[in-house]
Amino acid sequence: MFKRHRRLRANSTIRDMVRETVLNPNDFIYPIFVVEGHNIKSEISSLKGNYHYSIDMLDDIIEKVKQLGVKGVILFGIPDHKDEVATPAFEENGIVQRAVKKIKALAPELYVITDVCMCEYTSHGHCGIIHGHEVDNDDTLEYIAKIALSHAKSGADMVAPSDMMDGRVLLIRNILDENGFKNVPIMSYSAKYCSAFYGPFREAANSAPKFGNRKSYQMDPANVREAMLEIEDDINEGADIIMVKPAMSYLDVVRLARDRYDLPIAAYNVSGEYAMVKAAAEMGYIDEKAVAMEMLTSIKRAGANMIITYFALDACKWLREE
């Protein structure tokens, strides 16, 4: 006697009925890159199908996001000047702050998340304050908190610190609470690995470090128990949502976090993961739609509740085609 597992795979009706993981537009968060200037919509060469937008050009893309049913976007700003302490990141009239206001005016119901970090705004490209060649944890914290507060003041629905300094969730929670933003949640990039998969993003955001690397603050790809410690601390410091990043090479981390913690989990399907699919599809080696949907399904199956992905809009279109 053996079990005939194939009975439940016999046709698409029964396959639909027993499917365990089903993607829908609510799963996706779409990253948007905003630049200074006017009348700019230029394709990001490393992230085909994604664009740099000046604020006056956001209308169409926001309309598209809404029409496709995506509920949230995460904003990245590329300022036109940088300095040692990332001043343009916390200016009241900074690029992200203005973009948030514009998007909330265009689509009040669209959920606007902001990436809270310094690397796009520092002349040295690191995610914090530099002393010598070291990124100083404690000196960075007040800047990260200031950036988060300025995003909340501009109307961000949620802030997402991606700098990997220890203690930042606690400081952000405190500063938000003290300033009347008790209800603004924190989505923490808790287990953010020092990954080569961020390459295309750094080109898109002009945020590659000018010296050294991020190994002293982002996590070693070899470690998973350490990720649980990071997540646990972020939860204790007040994170509302925890994130694992990147997604594809870290599905074990997503699964373990899902089994251990009850908070919503976000996974970031990062730029390199996207660019590899695009490049291979362009070469005719793989079927872009099938591979992308299989990847997104696997991220959800591993336990992610939210998937930040450059495929968000295409995935919604593909779901409609099915």
CB of 162 to ligand PBG, least distance (A): 4
Residue 6 in marked binding region: no
If binding is defined by CB under 6 A, does position 230 make contact with ligand PBG? no
57 binds ligand PBG (CB under 6 A): no
Is the separation of the CB atoms in 203 and 276 below 8 Å?
Answer: no
User: Does residue 33 interact with ligand PBG by CB under 6 A?
Assistant: no
Choice from 202, 258, 289, 301 touching ligand PBG (CB under 6 A): 202
Number of residues that bind ligand PBG (CB under 6 A): 11
The answer on whether 119 is annotated among ligand-binding residues is yes
Which of 53, 90, 181, 201 touches ligand PBG (CB under 6 A)? 201
- Is residue 245 annotated as a catalytic residue, yes or no? yes
Contacts with 148 (C-beta within 8 Å, 6 or more apart), sequence order: 114, 116, 159, 161, 172, 175, 176, 186
Among 94-102, 113-121, 252-260, 275-283, which window interacts with ligand PBG (CB under 6 A)?
A: 113-121
Residue of 82, 245, 278, 300 with catalytic role? 245
Task: Kindly tell me which residue out of 115, 157, 230, 237 binds ligand PBG, with binding defined by CB under 6 A.
Answer: 115
| Residue 199, H or E segment | helix 199-205
CA atoms within 13 A on the CB side of 197: 21
Shortest Cβ distance from residue 26 to ligand PBG (Å)? 21
Long-range Cβ pairs for the range 96-102 (8 Å, 24+): 96/34, 96/151, 96/154, 97/150, 97/151, 97/153, 97/154, 98/55, 98/154, 99/32, 99/34, 99/55, 99/58, 99/75, 100/75, 100/151, 100/154, 100/155, 100/156, 101/154, 101/155, 102/55, 102/58
The binding site for Zn(2+) comprises 117, 119, 127
Contact residues for ligand PBG (CB under 6 A)? Answer: 115, 117, 119, 127, 162, 198, 201-202, 207, 270-271
Residues annotated as catalytic are 192, 245
